[in-house]
Chain A
């Protein structure tokens, strides 16, 4: 994918229909889910559930929206995607492999010694990783600084997209950044929240109640959209809506994405202990088969 291709695609000027874009995102997410299972199998465990759940969100960003140069991850004119949730790295690696930023074969080094793809995402290790996340509630604060800097440099046409999880809404720093972004009218900033309703100690609703989420963001001055985060069409429409209202002096936007942990693999969707999944040796192939079967069923509909 060249820069011109990506830029044209983002601007919707590449002649693709909405249906073609949706198919491209769904295909990318499907491949990324396979990548995530392959990586998970290397370790026998990990944040596989999050990777499957967030695959559509990441695919919508990388296969449809983000301006980047796979050959030059530090290209100055790129949009920024910040993975605030460092433990989603497995999902991120799957997405950037599908985007051509790292070779697909390299995914099998995931979380092994001297790999560029460590268990938790770190900027100093991985091409295309903008920040070291993992300590939660950092991404949006850094995103605010990047959006301010881009504006100061007259480059507000470059977008900053910060990926965060519903658990991160517990962190006070997220709300400091939400206030700051609205106060400084950072229209070039978009937040995407993976509302998978699960955090380390259990369901989000029982750990710390965060609803009503849309009303909170609106009250903080953001343009808020809530969608099914496993629906590529809804993701594309929401991201287009954000891009349309993104101006140098406008409202920051948040896309609240309800997703399902383990999405696409029924065996894992039903698993009780889903935050950090342990998957038995014989189960990986079952997972892959379920993923493929599900995709075929969808295609047949």
Chain B
């Protein structure tokens, strides 16, 4: 018998760990609580899931409103088809699964049954981008690229617990389909320290700065704010613009910030193809804004499995990698 050498590095528990930083303030299941609270006010709200209620925070809603919760089993096509049928009868469904299964497996059902008739169905996708270490089977690194091409669909990439809680009633009130990139479990609380409220379709300037502007969405707004603080120590003055709605894109707010001599970046938890960087570049080109924009995004490749902190560092989403990238661009 030989003595096995224990491999160095983080282990399985880190693969499924939250992307929250150690010691960071978090809130538990903000989506589930927001949906349950909304359902108190609005009897049209129903919740569905495809065997991932506990993993998309839908269990909170299911416990609060069991008669309005529908378990569809591991059947994503049925999940979204049935949600469409419910919306046809005037209900307002929130249907949850992982983003990979919504975008890849059930796309035709979301497109034809929900988006084409412009129904008020809210697609809730867990594990967007790089928020799991399980590898490409679970990492929805191209979900926004897939969904941006779908007419009628509103896409929201929230930053934190506050963003999620405030978005839920607005998604329900929006008269058409939506896709929410869900952050689940213990979700960081970040934006309550800023003068900020979520408004569907709007980008917001969270922080002003004279040297650099960071346009970000999703959890990368949290990293952008951390990086801005760190860059202040390097005497770099950084503005942060949070654009949680990817489609329709708030070109007016974002381009007003980009149309300055500042060095400009986009930051997203998504492949560099077809997400926030693309939306921003599309808008800039259409307006004739000849501005260099540096993308900070996941590479156009299938990512490794591993521990989340390791992977965020490896693929450039960590605060330190953002700081290094900005400093390198400044020269």
With A124-B116, A146-B89 in contact, is A138–B82 under 8 Å at CB?
A: no
In the complex the two chains form, what is the Cα distance from A184 to B67 in whole Å? Answer: 12
A residues neighboring B (CB under 8 Å): 123-124, 130-132, 134-135, 137-138, 140-150, 152-153, 172-173, 176-177, 179-180, 183-184
Instruction: Decide if the interface of chain A is mainly helix, strand, loop or mixed.
Output: helix
Q: Mark B84-104, 1 if CB is under 8 A from A, else 0.
A: 111111110100000000000
Do A145 and B88 touch across chains, with their CB atoms under 8 A apart?
yes
B112 within 8 A of A: yes
B91 CB contact (under 8 Å) in A143, A152, A172:
A152
In the complex the two chains form, what is the Cα distance from A301 to B106 in whole Å? Answer: 52
Q: How far is the CB of B28 from chain A (nearest CB, A)?
A: 29
Which of A123, A137, A143, A146 has its CB near the most chain B CB atoms (within 10 A)?
A: A146
Given contact pairs A141-B109, A148-B85, A148-B86, a sample of 12 additional A-B residue pairs in the complex whose CB atoms are under 8 Å apart: A124-B116, A131-B117, A135-B108, A138-B108, A141-B78, A141-B82, A144-B81, A145-B85, A149-B91, A177-B81, A177-B82, A180-B72
| Chain A residues near B112 (CB-CB < 8 A) | 132, 134-135, 138
| Chain A residues near B78 (CB-CB < 8 A) | 141, 144, 173, 176-177, 179-180
In the complex the two chains form, what is the Cα distance from A117 to B90 in whole Å? Answer: 26
In the complex the two chains form, what is the Cα distance from A124 to B113 in whole Å? Answer: 12
In the complex the two chains form, what is the Cα distance from A188 to B108 in whole Å? Answer: 26
B226 within 8 A of A: no
Ordered by A's residue number, 24 sampled pairs between the chains whose C-beta atoms are within 8 Å are A123-B117, A135-B112, A137-B77, A138-B81, A142-B81, A142-B82, A145-B81, A145-B89, A146-B89, A147-B85, A149-B86, A149-B90, A149-B91, A152-B67, A173-B78, A173-B81, A173-B109, A177-B81, A177-B82, A179-B75, A179-B78, A180-B73, A180-B75, A180-B82
| Chain B residues near A176 (CB-CB < 8 A) | 72-73, 75, 77-78
| Chain B residues near A130 (CB-CB < 8 A) | 88
B83 within 8 A of A: yes
| Chain A residues near B90 (CB-CB < 8 A) | 149, 153
B315 within 8 A of A: no
| Chain B residues near A143 (CB-CB < 8 A) | 85
Do A148 and B116 touch across chains, with their CB atoms under 8 A apart?
no
B85 CB contact (under 8 Å) in A124, A135, A141:
A141
With A130-B88, A132-B117 in contact, is A144–B82 under 8 Å at CB?
A: yes
| Chain A residues near B224 (CB-CB < 8 A) | none
B55 within 8 A of A: no
Q: How many Cβ-Cβ contacts under 8 Å join chain A to chain B?
A: 101
* Interface of chain B residues 299 through 313 with chain A (CB within 8 A): none
B residues neighboring A (CB under 8 Å): 46, 67-68, 70, 72-73, 75, 77-78, 80-91, 93, 108-109, 112-113, 116-117
Do B116 and A150 touch across chains, with their CB atoms under 8 A apart?
no
Do A150 and B73 touch across chains, with their CB atoms under 8 A apart?
no
Do A148 and B70 touch across chains, with their CB atoms under 8 A apart?
yes
| Chain B residues near A132 (CB-CB < 8 A) | 112-113, 116-117
Q: How far is the CB of B46 from chain A (nearest CB, A)?
A: 7
Which of A124, A130, A177, A179 has its CB near the most chain B CB atoms (within 10 A)?
A: A177
What are the 4 closest A-B residue pairs judged by CB atoms, nearest first? A145-B85, A141-B81, A145-B82, A149-B89
In the complex the two chains form, what is the Cα distance from A244 to B72 in whole Å? Answer: 27
| Chain A residues near B91 (CB-CB < 8 A) | 149, 152
Q: How far is the CB of B44 from chain A (nearest CB, A)?
A: 10
Q: How far is the CB of B277 from chain A (nearest CB, A)?
A: 31
With A152-B67, A177-B81, A180-B72 in contact, is A141–B113 under 8 Å at CB?
A: yes
Q: How far is the CB of B169 from chain A (nearest CB, A)?
A: 21
Do A144 and B117 touch across chains, with their CB atoms under 8 A apart?
no
Q: How far is the CB of A87 from chain B (nearest CB, A)?
A: 14
Do B68 and A152 touch across chains, with their CB atoms under 8 A apart?
yes
Q: How far is the CB of A179 from chain B (nearest CB, A)?
A: 7
| Chain B residues near A135 (CB-CB < 8 A) | 108, 112
In the complex the two chains form, what is the Cα distance from A130 to B73 in whole Å? Answer: 25
| Chain B residues near A149 (CB-CB < 8 A) | 46, 85-86, 88-91
In the complex the two chains form, what is the Cα distance from A130 to B81 in whole Å? Answer: 13
Q: How far is the CB of A43 from chain B (nearest CB, A)?
A: 24
Q: How far is the CB of A232 from chain B (nearest CB, A)?
A: 29
| Chain A residues near B109 (CB-CB < 8 A) | 138, 141, 173
Do A142 and B75 touch across chains, with their CB atoms under 8 A apart?
no
In the complex the two chains form, what is the Cα distance from A173 to B93 in whole Å? Answer: 20
Chain B residue at minimal CB-CB distance from A149: B89
With A138-B109, A152-B46 in contact, is A172–B116 under 8 Å at CB?
A: no
| Chain B residues near A147 (CB-CB < 8 A) | 85
Q: How far is the CB of A118 from chain B (nearest CB, A)?
A: 13
Chain B residue at minimal CB-CB distance from A143: B85
| Chain A residues near B84 (CB-CB < 8 A) | 131, 141-142, 145
| Chain A residues near B88 (CB-CB < 8 A) | 130-131, 142, 145-146, 149
Chain B residue at minimal CB-CB distance from A147: B85
In the complex the two chains form, what is the Cα distance from A82 to B173 in whole Å? Answer: 27
